[in-house]
A = this chain, B = another copy of it.
Amino acid sequence: MPGEPQTFFPPDGYLPAVTDLYELTMAAGYFENAIDYSATFELWVRNLPPQRSYLIACGLEDCVRYLSDLSFSKDTVEYLRAQEVFKHVSDAFFDYLRRMKFTGDMWAIPEGTVVFAGEPLIRITAPIIEAQLVETFLLSVINYQTTVATKASRVVDAAHMGGVERPVVDFGLRRAHGPGAGISAARASFIGGCAGTSNVYAGYRHGIPVYGTAAHSWTMAFDSELESFEKYYKTFPESTILLIDTYDVKQGAINAAKIGDGLRGVRLDSGDLVAQSKMVRRILDDAGLKNAQIVASGDLNEYKIRDMLRAGALLDIFGVGTGMVVSCDAPALQCIYKLVEEQKGGRTVYKAKFSEDKAMYPGAKQVRRISNGHGEFQRDVICRHDEKMKGEALLTKILEDGKPVGGLPDIKEIQSHAKEQLARLPERYKRFDGADVYPVSYSPALEALLEEVKKQYR
């Protein structure tokens, strides 16, 4: 069993199998019934999660990589063929799977864009089997990365209270939903405005700045706290930030101050951070260490950071883990992926569903954003994809015939885009209670199409 790859990190060629079985039974059904026309699916968030008035779109780059490289390995196809459910399915279907590539078009709203419920974030047009098969993976990627980018933007907003840009660093890998989630969280939280991550692989892979100092165990590994601090400083004379709450915070601050001018800062990880930060600041200042920074960590989130800063906490940097990467107050996002139209022999057939609590609009769509003269976002209109309307069109073409249309922005560009987007979003939608609803409407042409489709089904 050792020697095998980690079960939760499938090697290349296995990614198409990271999907729900029903995507493959439907694929077989379409194949066996010779249904091969082109279909358009859209991915959107059904409802905003609690306490949220906006989302930061995130995850597109991983989806593009997935679609561009989609290819089934031999043994996953053989595995499928051996499943009882496929017993009556022809060999031709499995041969097809082995050859299958993604050959369709993808339109999407760029990562880092402020988006709202109901707005298509991704639109896929492809032979129906391909368009259907990719549903589960795309949802899984977009749901999580959008959740974290959004949460991070709130945490960063709290940390920047009063216009002071106190950095937020992702400390979440250990509490994320597995190592893969931790890596995606580092990426998404950087896009949401974090200054960096503690996650070394994410730093290596994405070029995100990495941060880290020492744990309680470092302090505990020496005979005295002071010795542990001196030994750390000896090895890292230019980047010593000392964790001072292992035994007693006051004594820890006094010991840290003995390092002198080389001390970059101290970290507080437990207890009443407001009171501690004031005491520690005094100790550092009295030792002439006005530039030594105080880092706060330990189950933080946007609410706690806001409350601590309002209470006068003297904190300079925040390490945020669980609350951000698990997005505890809203840990799941309701992204869905639905068939909206088919192209059958030159004719477009519009599709919708009308089940009690999950209704939707038919047809390929675009989102138009209307801003005021200062560039501030006023309202969005979800319209037909080819409808002439004022406002900025949010969806752009990303893949054509399965191939990337242009380059994708790098992560720093995406972060800048998100920052600029948030600056254009009126303040009332950034409040942490999510009480104000940004106006999103459907165009009259789309409303008319919905009525037409409803009539057709009656």
- The residues of A with any CB-CB pair to B shorter than 8 Å are 1-12, 14-15, 17-26, 28-30, 32-33, 35, 39, 41, 61-62, 64-66, 68-69, 75-76, 79-80, 83-85, 87-89, 128, 132, 135-137, 139-141, 143-145, 147, 171, 173-185, 187, 198-206, 210-221, 231-232, 234-239, 245-249, 269-272, 322, 326-328, 331-335, 338-339, 342, 351-358, 404, 407-408, 457
Contact check, B80 vs A231: say whether CB atoms are below 8 A apart. no
Contact check, B9 vs A200: say whether CB atoms are below 8 A apart. no
Q: Which of B41, B83, B200, B236 contacts A76 (CB 8 A)?
A: B200
Counted per complex, copies of this chain come to 2
Query: Which B residues lie within 8 Å of A271 (CB)?
Result: 355-357
Q: How far is the CA of A29 from the CA of B270 in the complex (A)?
A: 24
Q: Which of B25, B204, B206, B232 contacts A29 (CB 8 A)?
A: B232
Q: How far is the CA of A88 from the CA of B233 in the complex (A)?
A: 11
Query: Which B residues lie within 8 Å of A238 (CB)?
Result: 84-85, 87-88
Nearest 6 CB-CB pairs, A to B?
A180-B180, A21-B212, A2-B68, A22-B212, A177-B177, A271-B356
What is the CB-to-nearest-CB distance from A271 to chain B, in angstroms, rounded to a whole number?
Answer: 4
Q: How far is the CA of A339 from the CA of B220 in the complex (A)?
A: 7
Known: A84-B239, A180-B8, A204-B79. A351 touches B174 (CB 8 A): no
Query: Which B residues lie within 8 Å of A83 (CB)?
Result: 210
What is the CB-to-nearest-CB distance from A313 to chain B, in angstroms, rounded to a whole number?
Answer: 16
Q: Which residue of B lies closest to A341 (CB)?
A: B220
What is the CB-to-nearest-CB distance from A72 to chain B, in angstroms, rounded to a whole number?
Answer: 10
Contact check, B339 vs A217: say whether CB atoms are below 8 A apart. yes
What is the CB-to-nearest-CB distance from A209 to chain B, in angstroms, rounded to a whole number?
Answer: 9
Q: List 24 A-B contacts (CB under 8 A).
A: A10-B179, A18-B200, A19-B199, A20-B173, A20-B200, A20-B212, A21-B200, A21-B203, A22-B213, A28-B235, A29-B236, A79-B204, A88-B235, A88-B236, A140-B174, A174-B335, A177-B177, A177-B185, A179-B180, A217-B351, A220-B353, A245-B355, A269-B355, A328-B331
